[in-house]
């Protein structure tokens, strides 16, 4: 192939047929081999030599090239089926770092244009018909190209293609209009050990996320509306969203939109919302009309966006919608509209270029749903760009068209398949000529490619994700088909028990579904008709739009499945709390609606993030994570479109409507026997509503008919589970934002918000600021751990289950505990009757619990059955403390012993010598022999090898040694694994997939000991090295026994009763939870359960005995861990001060409302600080070392009464916060902070394990990996713990408090509450005052430091506002006292005492009033940190039992 000077191409094979003039115009011969051929031809003809420009060095011949090998100095780009652009660059231009070749597209004329310099030639070429099939020849060998080049290639290959078809072409740069792909940048390798690298990371100050405190519910401000939108506004948004969906009621939505736009720049609005209305207007004009009206709406709204009058600007979606409008109604189109008033293509294209929006993003926008329309719009824009002389835009559009026409490359290294081709439409086709074929343009191909480039990674393979997509997309459709099939073919499908008609439940569900679907269709229609008559301003009361978002058939299935799922929740046997059921059902409908949106918009899923060789803790690694996540979040956000969150009010209302309809139609047929022994039948409601009392409160509950509840404990339940309650078949979607990750389509949040809009706002803004990259990465690591069902264990579980026996903590089919019998003297002996009633109540509760446990186990078994043989994944999210939990609630490794025994890792690794040893230690731990040295644990297992073999080979027929273990099902799984390894012939090479655990020793106390440098505490929790593992629970138990001995000598009744019976298990839970803030009541309940389980004392004595023992246990713990107690107190007092503080900017408004309270008949005044208390809205907030903001959600009850069709419910409104609960904030802060620390330690360990290639899972402070990896994980656990506690955790917390709350004030009146004053004094808090100020602050004298030189810390700027009122009140009070003293009879002692008491109260009130209007900075009042002990955290490396 040769290039001629006039831009044409010629073939060397045609050389002899060329004229002399044609030969003379040859400018460049492509490829060395052809140059040689041409030289030979010229020599034969003795023609003149064709000169090649000196500045273009010849390309060396490549032996691999089957055809031509292009010079690296020639950039070749194809931008349409028959156009080629060759750009020739001088060598020195290519060495210029700032040099970026650009592309241009030209008209059909053959021209030679000089660009940039006289030495750079751009040769646009019209391909002659002889080589018209360039699309089959240009980039045909796709598998041989570099990976990025294949994105642009066309896989077609024709038999008659020219030799040029097999050319190996070096891939050119990405087009300028596409975001440059962030390929896997080689990170710097780890140059320092993990300990030093991690220490350097943790030594830096974590970035704070600081937001304003929410305002009281009766106040608002523009800033507050940005972070905490109110319920009314949120209701309006959700109604608006529902009305727009499927064009349900666009005019009504427009009315709400106009109201929200009255406030310019309303923070609840965004460009996405404006685009949603533009899209709806164009859709209505297309489908319903009137066309001119809605196009006028669209034109007006577009102009507002373009002018930015309302502080919002257009984006790619905006221009895509306006192009659609023009295309559909343009004068020369299929539906011409005379006098069309809309944006023209030239105007739109000019705006796109001015705003620097890639035109490819516009033509691939989700709103363009038709590939045909996309092609027409590309052509329209290309024509416009030619008219406007925009060569760059022409090139971009051509490239977009090319990418859209390519077939997606789904798998590597797969033989190429010919794509589906269609005949290319041509106006100049000649009869009889072979038709020209082309790859059809598909808009989804282009979108997929752009998403891939912008996220700089491969998208999730459709083949890999097929089953997961089916699981999430069509769950309700599949459920309907199954139920229908079983209704038609009602058969005996019980779980091994032929007496059970196993499909009874499914048959009922199908009957309920058909009836409920019909009922809902009518109900929604009736509601819509009623609401259609509502006045426009009543839009917030609409519910028909919500019910219309999901088809009635799906609403029916959602209702049935959700109610069945909630059975037994909230402590209600055979039922559920009404409030919880209604809100949960409404939320399920909302989730399904948003899942439909995700499925409809075909959102592409990014791959899981990774950090590379440098790990997650280097600056480069962190930046890489941030860039990848931001790119992925942008793609997925743009693809989703706009939807609004529903409020609790809406959820409960929708849930009430659905539950009422279900209760009306759901029936079951019950049979019984009359007194004559004859069978009788009766149709009864399947669900009914009633009330019951719990802890003195009257609660509405929804109960299941007993026969339905019975079936739930027996029948197969796979039809009652939604995918969001199941494991996943593919790796979870990586977390790219606060509400985007986990399941592919089902929307979940990265944090489980506790009815707190504040928590959600903090996480959202922290994610947007890039502060939580390692938190998201940690969740991705945990979610990407593969699991499988352990079939050996499952077979045993299933057999035990079908037998109905009580075994291995499995509940029996029939409660096997005998019912207490009434004593003979019950009618005459009140005490005997009381004891009998107590025992009967306990027996009834145990029976009900047995049934609930049976239902729960049934769920686990059915899920395990469904996933046998599959590799599964468990998506994770966080609680508000940062602790990670699997999202599937039924079967996961965080569950009970049965759940853990059923699971194993999805990948196996060779056991090795150390792995075999750790497998034995693991078995010993599970059995309960876990407090001995490791060698003794190994010896224990080797002594019981016969029992282990018997358990593995005959788990039910043998001696059942495994049932005596603390964790029997995990013990059985380990017995089977060890048996298989030892019998394999080479145990060290045995491929083991069993998770092996490393558990912390009372991990909360470990953190306290490390924080406080507590030597004594460190010894008890294995932070310090020792020959044997310390057991803090046994030690506390021994301390309690010593106290009991002393009390028994004094004749204490319960000491005598409990003496010698205090085992480690009795006190274990109390010791463990003391550091997490357990109260005396909680400790008493924990100990009471242990006493009852072990039958230590009679049931009727348990409560009093537990009360006595709890007080002694808490006393002993306090003596043992004094360092922990000091830190707990510091936490608590800091929280009490913060929760009583008020932002400085709120003081003027709060103090302006100091009111007089008037009482008749005399005019008396009292000062009220009610307004000031309402302004105490400050939660305790801190930042973990990983940058996660933790917000305590504890506020005073602010419940809203909502009347539903079922009952009136009271729900907390997270969008209407009340003032904080200071006591709860204070008591919860110590345990919550420790939880956030152990969560950070776990995340750090997970990230480093992933970096070093270890499989990792965790259950809070229990870390799991393969047996062969335990030594490496143990090293990582210690390194991360040491690095964490070497970073001055408390110092950083103190510094954060002083930064976060530096402008917050504490009213001095709040310091005279309870024991706060004495506590602050003992902690070292002080208030610096002048001698003059001290005179009026006598009530706080314990805290005062009087100084004439130091600057006072008391702020009296607001005191003048209340001074006058205070004097008035004081005068009135003194006048009253004088009047009363004159009337007192000195001989009346009672009157004199009463007067003295009243005088003292008046003095106290006066002292309190002197404090009003005076404040102190919370940062000036924070107590100093407790003194740290001498324990060196580095010594943990020598402790082999730290985690074991």
Catalytic residues: 999, 1068, 1261
* Angle separating helix axes 912-927 and 934-943, nearest 10 degrees: 80
**Residue 424 half-sphere exposure, CB side, CA atoms within 13 Å?**
19
Tell me how far apart the alpha carbons of residues 806 and 786 are, in angstroms, rounded to a whole number. 31
Cis, bond preceding 290 (omega within 30 deg of 0) = yes
Continuous segment of H or E residues that includes residue 688: strand 687-694
**Residue 209 half-sphere exposure, CB side, CA atoms within 13 Å?**
28
* Nearest to 22, CA basis, from 43, 41, 5: 5
Tokens of 1356: 């009296």
Cα distances from 1247 to residues 225, 621, 680, 1255, 1282, in angstroms, run 37, 12, 64, 11, 16
3-state DSSP assignment of residue 929:
coil
Tell me how far apart the alpha carbons of residues 225 and 240 are, in angstroms, rounded to a whole number. 18
3-state DSSP assignment of residue 156:
coil
Do the bridges between strand 667-673 and strand 679-685 make them parallel or antiparallel, or are there none, so unpaired? antiparallel
Decide: 1433 and 1008 in contact? Cβ < 8 Å: no
For the residues of 267-314, what is the DSSP string, one character each? TT--HHHHHHHHHHHHHHHHHTS-HHHHHHHHHHHHHHHHHTTTS---
3-state DSSP assignment of residue 1035:
helix
Decide: 976 and 795 in contact? Cβ < 8 Å: no
C-alpha angle 24/30/33, rounded to 5°? 105
Neighbours of 805 (CB within 10 A): 15
Q: Virtual CA dihedral for 1236, 1240, 1246, 1249, nearest 10 degrees?
A: -150
Can you list the positions of beta strands (E) in 73-189? 74-80, 83-88, 113-114, 121-126
Backbone angles phi, psi at 1347, to 5 degrees: -145, 140
**Residue 1380 half-sphere exposure, CB side, CA atoms within 13 Å?**
16
Cα distances from 399 to residues 79, 103, 449, in angstroms, run 5, 10, 12
Tokens of 915: 């792995």
For the residues of 1355-1376, what is the DSSP string, one character each? E-TTHHHHHHHHHHHHHHHHHH
Tokens of 1418: 């919370």
Cα distances from 1199 to residues 1147, 1211, 1215, in angstroms, run 27, 5, 11
Beta bridge partners of 742: 733
* Angle separating helix axes 462-473 and 475-488, nearest 10 degrees: 60
Neighbours of 932 (CB within 10 A): 14
| DSSP 8-state code for residue 514 | H
Sheet containing strand 575-577, edge to edge, reads: 575-577, 697-704, 687-694
* Angle separating helix axes 371-387 and 443-455, nearest 10 degrees: 70
Q: b vs e for 851-871, b when ≥16 Cβ sit within 10 Å of the residue's Cβ?
A: bbbbbbbbbbbbbbebbeebb
Beta bridge partners of 1416: 1306, 1354
Decide: 348 and 319 in contact? Cβ < 8 Å: yes
Do the bridges between strand 1327-1329 and strand 1344-1346 make them parallel or antiparallel, or are there none, so unpaired? parallel
Tell me how far apart the alpha carbons of residues 80 and 231 are, in angstroms, rounded to a whole number. 53
């Amino acid at each position: 192939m040769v290039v001629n000077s006039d831009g044409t191409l010629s073939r060397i094979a045609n050389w002899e047929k060329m004229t002399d003039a044609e030969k003379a115009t040859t400018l460049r011969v492509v490829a060395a081999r052809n140059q040689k051929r041409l030289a030979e031809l010229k020599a034969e003809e003795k023609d003149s030599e064709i000169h090649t420009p000196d500045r273009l060095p010849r390309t060396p011949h490549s032996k691999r090239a089957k055809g031509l090998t292009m010079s690296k100095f020639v950039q070749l780009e194809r931008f349409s089926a028959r156009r080629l652009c060759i750009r020739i660059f001088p060598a020195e231009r290519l060495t210029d770092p700032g040099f970026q070749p650009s592309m241009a597209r030209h008209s059909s004329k053959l021209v030679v244009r000089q660009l940039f310099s006289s030495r750079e030639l751009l040769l646009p070429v019209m391909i002659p018909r002889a080589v018209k099939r360039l699309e089959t020849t240009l980039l045909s060998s796709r598998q041989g190209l570099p990976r990025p080049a294949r994105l642009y290639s066309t896989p077609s290959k024709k038999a008659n293609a020219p030799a040029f078809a097999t050319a190996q072409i070096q891939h050119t740069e990405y087009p300028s209009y596409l975001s440059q792909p962030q390929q896997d940048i080689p990170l710097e390798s780890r140059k320092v050990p993990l300990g030093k690298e991690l220490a350097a990371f943790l030594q830096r100050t974590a970035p704070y996320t600081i937001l304003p405190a929410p305002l009281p519910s009766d106040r608002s401000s523009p800033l507050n509306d940005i972070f905490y939108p109110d319920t009314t506004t949120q209701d309006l948004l959700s109604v608006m969203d529902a009305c727009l969906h499927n064009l349900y009621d666009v005019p009504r939505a427009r009315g709400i939109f106009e109201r929200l736009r009255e406030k310019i720049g309303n923070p609840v609005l965004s460009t996405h919302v404006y685009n949603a209305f533009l899209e709806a207007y164009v859709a209505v004009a297309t489908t319903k009309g009137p066309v001119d009206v809605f196009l006028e709406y669209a034109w007006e709204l577009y102009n507002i966006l373009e002018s930015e009058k309302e502080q919002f600007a257009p984006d790619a979606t905006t221009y895509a919608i306006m192009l659609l409008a023009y295309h559909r109604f343009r004068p020369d189109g299929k539906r011409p509209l005379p006098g069309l008033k809309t944006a023209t293509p030239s105007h739109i294209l000019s705006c796109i270029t001015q705003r620097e929006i890639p035109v490819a993003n516009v033509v691939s926008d989700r709103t363009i749903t038709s590939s045909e329309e996309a092609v027409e719009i590309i052509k329209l824009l290309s024509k416009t760009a030619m008219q406007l002389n925009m060569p760059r835009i022409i090139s971009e559009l051509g490239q977009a068209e090319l990418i859209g026409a390519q077939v997606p490359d789904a798998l590597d290294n797969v033989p190429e398949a010919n794509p589906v081709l269609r005949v290319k439409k041509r106006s100049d086709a000649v009869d009889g000529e072979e038709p020209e074929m082309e790859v059809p343009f598909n808009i989804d191909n282009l979108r997929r490619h752009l998403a891939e480039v912008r996220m700089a990674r491969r998208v999730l393979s459709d083949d890999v994700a097929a089953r997961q997509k089916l699981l999430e997309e069509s769950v309700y459709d599949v459920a309907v088909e199954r139920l229908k099939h079983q209704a038609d073919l009602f058969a005996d499908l019980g779980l091994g028990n032929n007496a059970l008609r196993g499909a009874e439940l499914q048959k009922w569900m199908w009957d309920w579904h058909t009836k409920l679907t019909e009922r809902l269709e009518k109900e929604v229609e009736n509601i819509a008709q009623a609401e259609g008559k509502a006045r426009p301003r009543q839009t917030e009361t609409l519910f028909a739009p919500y019910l219309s978002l999901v088809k009635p058939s799906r609403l029916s299935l959602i209702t049935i499945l959700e109610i069945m799922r909630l059975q037994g929740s909230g402590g209600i046997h055979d039922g559920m709390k009404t409030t919880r059921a209604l809100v949960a059902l409404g939320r399920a409908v909302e989730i399904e609606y948003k899942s439909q949106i995700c499925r409809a918009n075909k959102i592409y899923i990014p791959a899981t993030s990774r950090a590379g060789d440098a790990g997650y803790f280097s600056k480069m690694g962190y930046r890489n994570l941030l860039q990848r996540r931001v790119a992925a979040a942008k793609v997925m956000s743009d693809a989703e479109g706009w939807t609004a969150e529903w409020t609790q009010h809406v959820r409960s209302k929708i849930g009430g409507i659905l539950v009422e309809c279900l209760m009306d139609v759901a029936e079951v047929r019950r049979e019984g026997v009359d007194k004559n022994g004859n069978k009788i039948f009766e149709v009864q409601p399947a669900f009914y509503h009633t009330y019951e009392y719990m802890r003195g409160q009257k609660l509405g509950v929804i109960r299941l008919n007993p026969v339905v509840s019975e079936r739930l404990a027996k029948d197969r339940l796979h039809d009652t589970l939604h995918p969001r309650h199941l494991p996943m078949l593919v790796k979870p979607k990586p977390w790219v934002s606060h509400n985007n990750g986990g399941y592919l389509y089902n929307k979940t949040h990265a944090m489980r918000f506790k009815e707190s809009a504040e928590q959600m706002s903090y996480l959202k803004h922290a994610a947007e600021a890039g502060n939580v990259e390692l938190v998201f990465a940690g969740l991705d690591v945990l979610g990407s751990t593969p699991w499988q069902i352990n079939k050996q264990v499952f077979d045993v579980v299933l057999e035990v289950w079908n037998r109905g026996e009580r075994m291995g903590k499995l509940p029996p089919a029939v409660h096997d505990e005998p019912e207490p019998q009434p004593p003979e003297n019950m009618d005459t002996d009140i005490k005997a009757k009381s004891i009998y009633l107590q025992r009967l109540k306990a027996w009834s509760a145990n029976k009900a619990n047995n049934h609930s446990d049976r239902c729960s186990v049934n769920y686990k078994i059915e899920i395990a059955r469904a996933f046998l043989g599959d590799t599964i994944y468990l998506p994770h999210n966080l609680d508000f403390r940062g602790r990670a939990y699997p999202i599937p609630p039924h079967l996961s490794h965080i569950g009970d012993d049965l759940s853990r025994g059923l699971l194993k890792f999805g990948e196996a690794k060779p056991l090795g010598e150390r792995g075999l040893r750790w497998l034995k230690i693991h078995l010993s731990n599970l059995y309960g022999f876990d407090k001995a040295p490791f060698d003794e644990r190994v010896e224990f297992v080797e002594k019981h090898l016969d029992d282990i073999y018997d358990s593995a080979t005959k788990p039910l027929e043998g001696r059942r040694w495994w049932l005596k273990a603390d964790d029997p099902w995990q013990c059985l799984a380990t017995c089977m694994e060890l048996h298989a390894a030892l019998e394999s012939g080479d145990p060290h090479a045995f491929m083991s997939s069993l998770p092996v655990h490393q558990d912390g020793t009372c991990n909360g106390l470990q953190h306290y000991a490390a924080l406080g440098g507590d030597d004594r505490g460190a010894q008890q929790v294995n932070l310090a090295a020792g020959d044997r593992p310390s057991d803090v629970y046994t030690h506390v138990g021994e301390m309690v026994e010593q106290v009991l001995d002393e009390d028994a000598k004094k004749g204490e009744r319960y000491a005598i009763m409990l003496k010698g019976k205090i085992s480690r298990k009795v006190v274990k839970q109390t010791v463990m939870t003391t550091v997490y803030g357990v109260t005396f009541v909680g400790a008493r309940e924990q100990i009471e359960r242990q006493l009852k389980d072990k039958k230590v004392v009679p049931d009727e004595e348990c409560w009093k005995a537990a009360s006595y023992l709890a007080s002694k246990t808490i006393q002993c713990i306090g003596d043992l861990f004094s360092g922990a107690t000091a830190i707990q107190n510091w936490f608590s007092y800091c929280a009490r001060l913060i929760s009583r503080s008020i932002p400085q900017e709120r003081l003027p408004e709060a103090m302006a409302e100091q009111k007089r309270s008037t009482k008749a008949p005399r005019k008396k005044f009292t000062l009220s600080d009610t307004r000031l208390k309402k302004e105490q809205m400050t939660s305790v907030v801190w930042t973990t070392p990983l940058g996660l903001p933790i917000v305590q959600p504890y506020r005073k009850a602010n419940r809203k009464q909502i009347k539903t069709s079922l009952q009136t419910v009271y729900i907390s409104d997270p969008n209407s916060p009340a003032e904080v609960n200071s006591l709860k904030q204070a008591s919860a802060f110590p345990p919550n902070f420790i939880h956030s620390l152990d969560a950070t330690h776990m995340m750090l360990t997970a990230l480093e394990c992933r970096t070093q290639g270890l499989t990792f899972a965790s259950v809070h402070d229990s870390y799991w990996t393969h047996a062969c990896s335990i030594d490496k994980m143990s090293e990582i656990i210690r390194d991360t713990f040491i690095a964490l506690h070497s970073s001055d955790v408390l110092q950083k917390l103190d510094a954060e408090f002083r930064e976060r709350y530096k402008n917050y004030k504490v009213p001095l009146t709040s310091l005279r509450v309870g024991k706060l004053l004495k506590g602050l004094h003992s902690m070292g808090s002080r208030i610096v005052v002048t001698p003059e100020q001290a005179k009026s602050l006598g009530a706080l004298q314990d805290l005062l430091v009087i100084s004439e030189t130091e600057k006072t810390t008391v702020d009296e700027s607001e005191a003048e506002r209340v001074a006058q009122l205070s004097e008035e009140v004081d005068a009135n009070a003194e006048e009253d006292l004088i009047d009363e003293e004159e009337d007192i009879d000195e001989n009346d002692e009672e009157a004199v005492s009463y007067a003295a008491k009243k005088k003292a109260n008046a003095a106290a009130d006066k002292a309190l009033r002197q404090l009003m209007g005076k404040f102190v900075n919370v940062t000036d009042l924070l107590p100093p940190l407790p003194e740290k002990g001498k324990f060196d955290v580095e010594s943990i490396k020598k402790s082999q039992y730290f985690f074991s």
